[in-house]
Amino acid sequence: MIANSQFDDLFGKAEPQARMVDNNSTQATFYHDEVQPIIEQRCVVCHGCYDAPCQLKLSSAQGIDRGANKALVYDGTRLLAATPQRLFEDHDSTQAWRNNGFYGVLNERQQSPAFNQQASVMSRLLSLKQQHPLPKGKILPKQFSFALDRQQQCPTDVEMDSYAQNYPDWGMPFGLPALSAPEDEILQTWLRNGAKMAPPKPLENNYIAQIATWENYLNGDSLKEKLVSRYLYEHWFIAHMYFSELPAGEFFKVVRSRTPPGQPIDIIATRRPYDDPGVDRVYYRFWREQGTILEKTHMPYALNNDRLATFNQLFYQDNYQVKTLPSYKPEVASNPFKAFEAIPTVARYKFLLEEAEFTIMNFIKSPVCRGQVALNVINDRFWVFFVNPNEKNAKDHSSFYNNQQDNLALPSAAESNAYIITNWLKYSKLQREFMHDKALKMNKAFPNGEHLTTEQIWAGDGDNTNAALTIFRHIDSATVVKGLVGRPPQTSWVIDYGLLERIHYLLAAGFDVYGNIGHQLNTRLYMDFLRIEGEFNFLALLPPETRKTELTKWYSGVSDSQKEYLMTPHKLFSQPSGINYQTKDHKQELYQLLKQKVSPVLVTDNNLVSKSTPRSHRKALDKLQNITGGPITLMPQITFLSVQNSDQTYYYSVLRNNAHSNITSLLSEDENRLPEQDTITVTSGLVGAYPDVFVNVSESQLTGYVKAVMALNTEADYQALMDDYAIRRTDTSFWQHSDAVHADNKKKYPYKAGLFDYNRLQNR
């Protein structure tokens, strides 16, 4: 209190300042052209999401002005759900954020050039780094902690003197090279002059016309139109919508608004997209994305005239009736099989398959940023295929799911404050009943000697490249890409409509990052059921004896009761496979058959054998994919590898796949690790949002790099590898390399690319 009083005496009392200026002003031009690019390239790479240190999101003007908060968003131990603190949603003014625990990082006291630096946390931290550059040496000393669960130091303006005295080396950017002198001068000039910011420049007319078209489509007055729009919104609410017939650069979010098209958007902020909006009529509006696009939260979704025609065909050509709209009660709204019963199942499934990569990406990225709650329930790499929508039996499928509505209830029905054991037992029983009924239905579906074959697998309708996907897990983050990347994996999933819908409503629509321990653990436990179901669908294509053999491999060391649970659906559905296997290695043969099935639409962009990969690169890097254990145990999860020749730079990702005896353990995953069975997948292109290390080599050095990786035996070997080839976080050329990587990625993937996150960069 004494320090606060003294600070008030020196600089005046704090109160939010008016920082937004007109876009036609010289201050706005300076902000857009000079300041914003530096903040994005140097600051947002660590301060962009829920997991940003101190909740400081610098990816937008509103986030900069909102400031920081010492409370943790990621807290898996809280007994009661926390109050959401979502930028642009939960509060609409800087003062409101101040009233809810956020404090400024810009000077909010008496305004003068000197005070704007002396009383600004941001200015002081930048100056601290200029005064105390990184210590000498390639590896930073132990006082630099980069653990995700490290104790965060989040100084207020009053605390800055003490912070600078105690942590002189902790200026910003933390644990990375200082800004260049010109960059630092630009930011300090901006801060001295009051840190004036401006909104995005006005949209061009062609964007306004597209928004009008889609808002008109989503806000029809009939019950059918309202139900379809609600369904679309609940699957699009975290998407970055873009108009693929217009130039790249602008993204939009579909939001629920109290106001109709033509009026300013008044966002309805609820924990979940299906929570009661509290108004008689919801309007679905296109809200322009205000922040920097980040790889870890970027889920692009293309809209165009062809897609509009497709949605009309899916949802309005079938002569079904909507007599009433579903309620927003949790037990209904959290269960899409109840809420959207009136919409034919085949229409819903085809909609999800239209952008299946995006649908899966919802559980990979979603609102979670840091996904350990959901991700330690999946293997480190697996392939995904989909059941073919069966239009001939569409009514029968709809009837089955309608009859299974209660069994398909999800734990999010208990909302954000949930009990653990009672809820888990309840949903475990419901899932057993569903799998029992599903197995019986499958038995009835294949009479007269007909059995499951690859004919039941979706082949993308001849032109949809979403038919086959690869999922990579990187401990507490994950990535999904199109195609079948890498060597055939240990496990794979085959996903049908019921499974795909529940994945979305469990981990995206129904998950609350601010929820209590019960909500978070129930989500994790239920995801076990969904993984097992996807694996069951895949194993059903194999001969019965092979199913048991594979399950035994996948779940080594589990208890007898767990084995019984895993085998039950296979006992109920014990029909032989309809595939006439020609070899003894049934799984590998099945992979070849599945690959042939989807080959007309199979994306190979991320495969090492893609046409864009030079033969010499492929020959060298493929050797890494032949290693098991040994050197791999020293490798990071994600290595971004750039290979330079005289004409261009080629980018690859060296991904470590962690092996497990099984992935059923909730709290002791490390006990199930099998590091001696770890493998590497090398992809073409940059896969992952959180690089652990950057490696930069010339073509002539590539073979040497590969040999050095294969020869790794000790931590000293790894340090020598980094000495020779890496651009560490301490490297003087770090920012130059970072800028080149981002620029090249943006040039190649203008709609897909976002800034990478550096919170997981290693210090080795």
- Residue range 14-24, pLDDT digits in tens: 999 999 999 99
- Say whether both 244 and 318 belong to one domain: yes
Does the pLDDT at position 463 exceed 60? yes
Considering 158, 192, 226, which residue would you say is the last residue of a domain? 192
Model confidence at 425, pLDDT cuts 50, 70, 90, reads: confident
- Mean pLDDT over residues 557-583, rounded? 90
Instruction: Report the alpha-carbon distance of residue 149 to residue 171 in Å, rounded.
Output: 20
Q: Is 340 helix (H, G, I), strand (E, B) or coil?
A: coil
Query: What tens digit of pLDDT does each residue of 337-374 get?
Result: 999 999 999 999 999 999 999 999 988 886 655 554 56
- Say whether both 100 and 227 belong to one domain: no
Is 583 inside any structural domain? no
Does the pLDDT at position 51 exceed 90? no
Token pair 């050329």 is found at: 733
Q: Is the pTM of this model over 0.75?
A: yes
Phi, psi at 675, each rounded to 5°: -60, -25
Number of residues assigned to the chain? 764
Does the pLDDT at position 611 exceed 90? no
- Name every residue whose Cβ is closer than 8 Å to that of residue 437 and which is 6 or more positions away in sequence: 404, 407
- Say whether both 219 and 344 belong to one domain: yes
Is 755 inside any structural domain? no
Does the pLDDT at position 1 exceed 80? no
Instruction: Report the alpha-carbon distance of residue 281 to residue 162 in Å, rounded.
Output: 53
pLDDT at site 74: 75
- Say whether both 50 and 104 belong to one domain: yes
Give CA separation, 270 vs 241, 254, 266, 383, in Å: 20, 14, 13, 34
- Stronger pLDDT, 572 or 34, i.e. the higher one: 34
- Say whether both 561 and 662 belong to one domain: no
Query: What tens digit of pLDDT does each residue of 495-514 get?
Result: 999 999 999 999 899 888 88
At 727, which CATH number?
3.30.1050
Does the pLDDT at position 742 exceed 60? yes
Does the pLDDT at position 149 exceed 80? no
Strand partners of residue 242: 302
- Say whether both 299 and 175 belong to one domain: no
- Say whether both 629 and 562 belong to one domain: no
Instruction: Report the alpha-carbon distance of residue 203 to residue 209 in Å, rounded.
Output: 10
- Average pLDDT over the chain reads 93
- Mean pLDDT over residues 740-747, rounded? 97
Model confidence at 292, pLDDT cuts 50, 70, 90, reads: very high
- Stronger pLDDT, 183 or 518, i.e. the higher one: 183
Query: What tens digit of pLDDT does each residue of 169-178 get?
Result: 999 999 999 9
- Say whether both 625 and 486 belong to one domain: no
Look at 74-88, 470-484, 708-722 and tell me which has the smallest mean pLDDT: 74-88
- Mean pLDDT over residues 94-105, rounded? 96
- Say whether both 21 and 54 belong to one domain: yes
pLDDT at site 516: 82
- Mean pLDDT over residues 562-591, rounded? 92
- Stronger pLDDT, 149 or 466, i.e. the higher one: 466
pLDDT at site 585: 97
CA nearest to 249, candidates 306, 305, 300, 198: 300
Number of domains the chain contains: 3
pLDDT at site 183: 98
Is 589 inside any structural domain? no
Does the pLDDT at position 323 exceed 80? yes
Look at 75-89, 92-106, 351-365 and tell me which has the smallest mean pLDDT: 75-89
Query: What tens digit of pLDDT does each residue of 213-230 get?
Result: 999 999 999 999 999 999
pLDDT at site 400: 93
Tokens of 528: 């076990």
pLDDT at site 667: 66
Give CA separation, 496 vs 170, 345, 393, 500, in Å: 50, 11, 14, 6
Model confidence at 666, pLDDT cuts 50, 70, 90, reads: low
Query: What tens digit of pLDDT does each residue of 388-418 get?
Result: 997 677 788 889 999 999 999 998 877 777 6
Range of the domain at 354: 211-572
Considering 572, 596, 629, which residue would you say is the last residue of a domain? 572
Considering 192, 219, 237, which residue would you say is the last residue of a domain? 192
Is 46 inside any structural domain? yes
- Say whether both 671 and 712 belong to one domain: yes
- Say whether both 180 and 218 belong to one domain: no
Instruction: Report the alpha-carbon distance of residue 764 to residue 762 in Å, rounded.
Output: 6
- Say whether both 238 and 352 belong to one domain: yes
Is 610 inside any structural domain? no
Does the pLDDT at position 121 exceed 60? yes
pLDDT at site 563: 86
Is 256 inside any structural domain? yes
Instruction: Report the alpha-carbon distance of residue 296 to residue 375 in Å, rounded.
Output: 14
Does the pLDDT at position 8 exceed 70? yes
Is 118 inside any structural domain? yes
CB 83 within 8 A of CB 89: no
Residue 592 has a CB neighbour count (10 Å cut-off) of: 12
